[in-house]
Amino acid sequence: MERLVAIGEAAEALGVSVTTLRRWEASGKLVADHTAGGHRRYDLVKLKPDLFRAEADTRRTIAYARVSSHDQQDDLARQKQVLELYCARQGWAFEVIADLGSGMNYHKKGLKRLLSGILAGEVGRLVIAHKDRLLRFGAELVFAICEAKAVEVVILNQGEDTTCEEDLAKDVLEMLTVFSARPYGSRSRKNQTLLDGVKKAVEEAQA
């Protein structure tokens, strides 16, 4: 069913006459959209949302959890438990997708599955514990895609993620490893020494 319809179809959907619909518009009770040619079009989602409710209900709620490494399995289990409890309390039918990998890795199996579902119009709601659980950098881009696809995003913790210092350290180490593998010309030895020193400091901070 089309969302934007002509006045006759809108009146029929509402069970009123065209005259009544025109009177409602004149009084400001409803507002019509206009095509490039100046023709009135009425949004049935606004006029009669129950017509589209069944379609909206078919989209899934996805709860997404992530940690960086195998030694954080306990953190992953706690994260999933929090998400499951929250979704259950809201009365949502939901599915949990869990990933094991760096927040800087855009090729994780679970993340790719999540994005495919969003782009295909199969996901209606995304629930995460903290935005960094989605991606370390680039979460805002995913949120923009969600907005374009009318996907509700629920972030349980809007503040700083104080439980992921170890996760952040692993991401920093991964980034340093990538940079240290690149050539640096005549100053490569000096830069390599500097990077090795930073990596050592991060590793000692984790100990």
Q: Give me the long-range contacts of 55-58 (CB less than 8 A, separation at least 24).
A: 56/124
Which of 68, 102, 186, 188 does the annotation list as catalytic? 68
In which element (H, E) is residue 201 found?
A: helix 188-206
Helix ranges (H only) for 97-187 are 109-119, 139-148, 165-180
Closest by CA to 203, choosing from 176, 183, 163, 164, is: 176
| Calpha distance 158→126 (Å, rounded) | 15
Q: Is 68 an annotated catalytic residue?
A: yes
Query: Where in the sequence numbering do the catalytic residues fall?
Result: 68
